[in-house]
Amino acid sequence: MFMTIFLDQGAVPSQSNAGAGHLRVGYIGLGQMGHGMAANILRAGHSIFGYDVDPKAMSTFRSIGGVTVGSVREAVGSVDVVITSLPGPQHLEQVALSEDGLLNSAQVGTIWIDCSTVDVSTGIRLRDACTQAGIEMVDAPVTGGAERASSGDLTVLVGGDDDIVTRLNFLFRGFAKRVHHLGPFGAGYAAKLCQLHLNYLVATGVGEAFLMAARFTVDVKELYLALQKSCAQSYVLDHHVPQLLAGDYDESFNLGLAVKDLGLICDLGESTGVELSLGRLVYNRYKEARDKYGDTAPHLSIIRLLEDSHHQLIRPMSNMEVVE
């Protein structure tokens, strides 16, 4: 039975080390999302052994009292649970399949929770390899962004066996407020891509709507307040429009990762036989923005692309601003 689990309720049966209360956790990927999640797991009383290819990320984790190690092998070799939070499929495969990677280093009986945003087919290949190695795997992408990762207010989208997910509830409690068990392995990955599909469509639509308003000399700040109480209200509207009105294109996430996500979304559409007519238009628009501003440009540069191409800022202009 698949379910929504609100993590301020209920106890967890202790059928293995993964239900025993205190865990040794190997955490791989200490970037903006991974750092916040690992920090909250640490605060929940679990032992964390963190690893990231970026020395700065490891230093930042140590600065809050976290323990870091020098390799994937050291992170996973003697732990109960491994959590990965990585940028994309190729990074996940490298961590899992390299000579000193997870599959060759983790003990039999280890549980691997992957919180990355990747395609279902990559996940299933790795799950099958885990089964042969005696490792259990759950896909558990998260949604909420870096700010909510730090505050522990994430939502987890889980795919996996009922028994394993139930045993992991108390661990999820360490970094998330809500867990949705959506189906068997792979359902979490698919659900995350569906969520992102809506997110990128809405972000593009918000940009177009506010650009029309600005060109018609509508008071965009007042429009924002009106839309918050309308059927157009959404997280994207509530969270990103104030940033745009302040000239902030949100550096918590970049265009390179957005384009990666949209490619995976289009692949999922193909594999399920769903024609993503809007999705492909938005994918091409994000690629255009990425090509113009670069992989590391903030993700709301998709709206900057609209502004630049129409020589019109959405935010009220100061006397010193000029749009090229």
Catalytic residues: 192
Q: Which two tokens stand for residue 227?
A: 């839309």
Question: With left for phi above 0 and alpha for psi between -120 and 50, is residue 144 left, alpha or beta?
Answer: left
Strands, E assignment, the chain: 4-6, 24-28, 47-51, 67-68, 81-84, 111-114, 136-139, 142-143, 154-159, 176-183
Residue in the block written with tokens 């992408």: 141
3-state DSSP call for residue 70? coil
Enclosing H/E stretch for 279: helix 277-293
Q: Which two tokens stand for residue 151?
A: 């505050």
Q: Which two tokens stand for residue 72?
A: 């994937």
Residues 6+ apart with CB under 8 A from 265: 193, 196, 197, 200, 276, 279, 283
Q: Which two tokens stand for residue 149?
A: 């990762």
Length of the chain measured in residues: 324
